[in-house]
Amino acid sequence: MDRPLRTRLETRFADKLTGPVRQRHDQTEIRIGPGDLIEVMTALHDEPELCFELLADLAGVDTGDHMQVVYHVWSATTPDWLRVIADGLPRDNPRIPSLTGLWPGAEWMERETYDMFGIIFEGNRDLRRIYMPPDYASFPLRKDFYLPDDAARSPGGGVRHMEQTVAPVQATERVVRRTVKA
């Protein structure tokens, strides 16, 4: 646990933090609002006393009532991992600014998070589904997605051809407009 880092963070982001700075084992954790993300991350990346220049991970979290996006960043100035939690995204329309301006490498991680949680990263210029087929309707890692309704148990044995011939925007409508064979 790196106490100086904690004090540094508390002094620098006093107005941004929505919760106390937690420290456990070798991790330091701060919580911010999604609006402040770009500002905070830019400061973390650029300022020499912080200088968190490696984005280790980007994870989406669906706590049953709201959503979070969790960033792990690493810096040579501290032995700790810094965990930045952008908290309080509404589940019905989760939106958060994209980090691709700061770390272009975050693009695919954001695509994955969008694919799994439906979190929309504003500013990501390639926010497609990356794992599931483009017309896949649901977001698997959400907590209201239960395993028994997986594709492998559908009547067709989950066989799906390579590129669906329907646009993803119509996918939900398509589900409604199913014509059932006699």
Report the site for another protein in 158-177 (rule: CB under 8 A): 158-169, 174
Smallest separation, CB 5 to another protein (Å): 14
What's the rounded Cα separation, in Å, for the pair 170 and 161?
17
Number of residues this chain uses to bind another protein (CB under 8 A): 71
Cβ contacts of 3 within 8 Å, gap of 6 or more = 23
Smallest separation, CB 76 to another protein (Å): 7
Dihedral sign (CA 22, 24, 28, 33): negative
Smallest separation, CB 156 to another protein (Å): 5
How many other β-carbons are positioned within 10 Å of the β-carbon of residue 46? 12
Considering the complex, state which of residue 47 and residue 150 has its C-beta at the smaller distance from another protein.
150
* Site for another protein contains 133 (CB under 8 A): yes
Binding test (CB under 8 A) with another protein, winner from 5, 6, 8, 29: 29
Specify the amino acid at residue 151.
A
Smallest separation, CB 20 to another protein (Å): 14
* Site for another protein contains 92 (CB under 8 A): no
| DSSP reduced 3-state for 139 | coil
CA distances from 99 to 32, 46, 59, 86, 109 (A): 15, 14, 13, 12, 10
* Site for another protein contains 15 (CB under 8 A): no
* Site for another protein contains 18 (CB under 8 A): no
CA distances from 97 to 118, 133, 156, 166 (A): 14, 24, 39, 29
Binding test (CB under 8 A) with another protein, winner from 23, 72, 88, 91: 72
Considering the complex, state which of residue 13 and residue 103 has its C-beta at the smaller distance from another protein.
103
Binding test (CB under 8 A) with another protein, winner from 10, 47, 49, 149: 149
